[in-house]
């Protein structure tokens, strides 16, 4: 890293004396990568690597590392160094015979660095998901070139040193103290930040080296040799029948619905974002939005949960327990700095992934917030003096029940759902599932369910994999 930096400096006509400081960052440090649920007191003062989704990013502020104070009695200048950012002015003068206790800070002598705090949350993948437990989070402190390297909704890999901070704050000159003065909470002092979901940069390009030197963060996203070998062997084995094999492998516990599964599979793969040919170059989304409307008991929720678990970045929410801020973005106040910051919602957390919304018909007041996120692929917010636009490049997979419980063929889709026409137009694929009496089909479905139950309980029954022709 230092050699590359020196080469870049010499190429741009800069001298070595112009470089004040070179920060050494760790890259691809996966030996000590641990899950957030295992990050406890045993890892204090140890180097660890964690991976999670950025849910909160504070503003960048200057942090004072050292400051000089002037005694008001004898004019002696005292230099104080603040460790871990704890501001501690001198109590008494260091000169013998001077009992001065009043000091004036000399702000022009302050040594400052950029400082930012982020909060990461454990990934909501199938391996880390635990029912009935709040997702774990941890605060990370970024300094100097690491600030502004990520935004809410991005997946990052942070390497840093685990430290503790006292949860106790003095009130009234230390006379009144909190009862929880013995409690501490863990945080990470970041050494490097690797952005896993940013734009892919070639390792041999000049932009890659420049980005690393300028920001200290890395954004490489590559396949492993094992992945490439599996893709090659799978393609050579199945040939032109690859899509059918993928289709049959998706949610095998649900019998039939091949056309619906095909639409969900295409939404999982998505497409490439394009721009219009005019002068403004308005982006045209490449993500596919799918809604499934039908009678109860046809496996709509199972399809949504299967898609969320298969997607590398899938978020599953239920419409009747979701608010507007929970879907898009919330503005929260930091208790320590009293500053407002963004906290990502479901659409922002699912950036470059899949957002599954069940019970879509139960959402009444949250319709308007999805119009911009689904078409423009971003969420604009203007709250508490903060005006910003966050990326929400995600495919929306929704499931809804018609009004009255069963779909009425004599009415349109809008009338069955009582949904705004503008929101329904955002969906590219609309599937209508009807529960029609069919003796042969009902027998096949019941046999398939019984075979799945017997197999999962340790039996040797063979699941029927015969599918209806499309």
**Which residues are registered as beta bridge partners of 89?**
none
The answer to whether the beta carbons of residues 263 and 246 sit under 8 Å apart is no
Task: From 450, 437, 345, select the one nearest 391 (Cα to Cα).
Answer: 345
The Cα–Cα gap between 42 and 87 comes to 28
- For helices 300-310 and 258-269, give the axis angle rounded to 10 degrees: 30
Domains defined for the chain, CATH in brackets:
25-222 (2.40.50.140), 253-436 (3.40.50.300)
Is 365 within 8 Å of 174 (Cβ atoms)?
Answer: no
pLDDT computed for residue 217 by the predictor: 42
DSSP state of 415: H
Q: Which of 293, 300, 301, 298 is nearest to 411 (CA)?
A: 293
Query: In what helix (H) or strand (E) does residue 283 lie, and over which residues does it extend?
Result: strand 283-284
Strands (E), 334-444: 340-344, 354-358, 378-383, 386-391, 395-400, 429-433
The H or E element containing residue 109 is: strand 103-121
Q: Residue 111 belongs to what H/E stretch?
A: strand 103-121
Left if phi > 0, otherwise alpha if psi is -120 to 50, otherwise beta: which for 252?
alpha
Per DSSP bridges, beta strands 137-143 and 155-166 are unpaired
Structure tokens at 15: 């001298």
Give the Cβ contact number of residue 383 at 10 Å: 13
Q: Which pLDDT does position 19 carry in this prediction?
A: 57
Q: Judge residue 260's burial from the number of C-beta atoms within 10 Å of its C-beta, 0-12 exposed, 13-18 middle, 19 or more buried.
A: buried
Q: Closest by alpha carbon to 314, among 272, 251, 356?
A: 356
8 A C-beta contact, residue 289 and residue 329: no
Confirm if 289 and 429 have CB atoms less than 8 A apart. yes
pLDDT tens digits in sequence order for the chain, 470 residues long = 556 666 666 665 555 555 566 777 777 766 667 888 888 888 888 888 888 888 888 778 888 888 888 888 787 788 888 776 677 777 788 777 777 778 888 888 888 888 888 888 887 654 555 666 677 888 888 888 888 887 777 778 888 888 887 654 443 344 444 455 667 778 888 888 887 644 333 333 333 333 433 344 444 446 678 888 888 887 787 777 778 877 877 877 777 778 888 888 888 887 777 766 666 666 777 788 888 888 887 778 888 888 888 887 778 888 777 777 778 877 777 665 667 777 778 888 787 788 888 888 777 665 677 887 788 777 887 776 777 777 788 888 888 888 877 777 778 887 777 777 788 888 888 888 887 777 777 777 777 777 766 665 554 444 444 444 43
Q: What is the pLDDT of residue 467?
A: 44
Smallest Cα–Cα separation from 159: which of 260, 73, 32? Answer: 32
Reading the block at residue 280, the tokens are 């403004």
Q: What is the DSSP letter of 66?
A: E
Helix axes 242-249, 225-238, angle to 10 degrees: 110
- CA dist., res. 461 & res. 235, Å (int): 30
Q: Give the pLDDT score at 295.
A: 80
Rounded Cα gap, residues 291 and 421, in angstroms: 14
| pTM flag (> 0.75) | no
Q: Which two tokens stand for residue 432?
A: 């209508």
The per-residue pLDDT for 297 is 77
Nearest to 288 by CA among 311, 313, 264, 305: 264
Residues 90, 70: Cα–Cα separation, whole Å: 10
Q: What is the pLDDT of residue 126?
A: 46
Q: How far is CA 382 from the centre of its chain?
A: 21
Token pair, residue 212, equals 């690393």
> What's CA 29's distance to the chain center, in Å?
21
Residues 45, 46, 51: CA angle, nearest 5 degrees = 120
């Amino acid at each position: 890293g230092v050699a590359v930096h020196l080469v870049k400096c010499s190429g741009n006509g800069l001298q070595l004396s112009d470089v004040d400081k070179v920060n050494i960052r760790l890259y691809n440090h996966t030996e000590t990568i641990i899950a957030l649920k295992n990050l406890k007191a045993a890892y204090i003062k140890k180097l660890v690597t964690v991976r999670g989704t950025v849910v909160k990013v504070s503003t960048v502020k200057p942090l004072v590392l050292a400051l000089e104070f002037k005694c008001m009695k004898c004019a002696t200048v005292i230099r104080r160094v603040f460790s871990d950012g704890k501001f501690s002015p001198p109590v008494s003068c260091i000169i013998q015979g001077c009992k001065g206790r009043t000091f004036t800070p000399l702000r022009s002598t302050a040594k400052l660095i950029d400082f930012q705090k982020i909060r990461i949350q454990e990934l909501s993948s199938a391996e880390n998901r635990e029912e009935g437990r709040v997702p774990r989070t941890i605060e990370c402190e970024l300094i100097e070139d690491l600030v502004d390297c990520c935004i809410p909704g991005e997946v990052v890999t942070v390497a840093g040193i685990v430290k503790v901070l006292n949860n106790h704050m003095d009130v009234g000159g230390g006379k009144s103290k909190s009862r929880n003065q013995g409690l501490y909470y863990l945080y990470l002092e970041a050494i490097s930040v690797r952005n896993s979901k940013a734009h892919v940069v070639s390792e041999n390009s000049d932009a890659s080296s420049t980005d690393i030197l300028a920001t200290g963060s890395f954004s490489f996203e590559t396949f492993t040799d094992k992945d490439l070998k599996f893709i090659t062997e799978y393609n050579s084995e199945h040939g032109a029948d690859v899509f059918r094999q993928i289709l049959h492998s998706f949610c095998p516990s649900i019998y039939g619905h091949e056309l619906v599964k095909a639409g969900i599979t295409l939404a999982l793969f998505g497409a490439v974002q394009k721009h219009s040919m005019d002068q403004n170059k308005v982006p045209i989304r490449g993500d596919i939005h799918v809604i499934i409307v039908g009678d109860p008991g046809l496996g709509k929720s199972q399809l949504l949960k299967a898609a969320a678990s298969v997607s590398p970045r899938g978020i599953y929410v239920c419409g009747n327990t979701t608010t507007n801020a929970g879907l898009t973005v919330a503005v929260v106040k930091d208790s320590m700095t009293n500053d407002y910051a963004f906290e990502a919602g479901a659409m922002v957390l699912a950036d470059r992934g899949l957002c599954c919304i069940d019970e879509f018909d139960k959402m009444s007041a949250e319709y308007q917030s999805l119009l911009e996120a689904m078409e423009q692929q971003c969420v604009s917010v203007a709250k508490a003096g903060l005006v910003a636009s966050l990326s929400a490049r995600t495919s929306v997979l929704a499931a809804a029940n018609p009004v009255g419980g069963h779909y009425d063929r004599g009415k349109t889709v809008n009338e069955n759902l009582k949904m705004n026409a503008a929101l329904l137009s955002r969906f590219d694929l609309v599937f209508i599932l009807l529960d029609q009496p069919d003796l042969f089909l009902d027998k096949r479905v019941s046999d398939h369910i019984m075979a799945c139950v017997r197999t999962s309980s340790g039996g040797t029954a063979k699941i029927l994999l015969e599918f209806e022709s499309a």
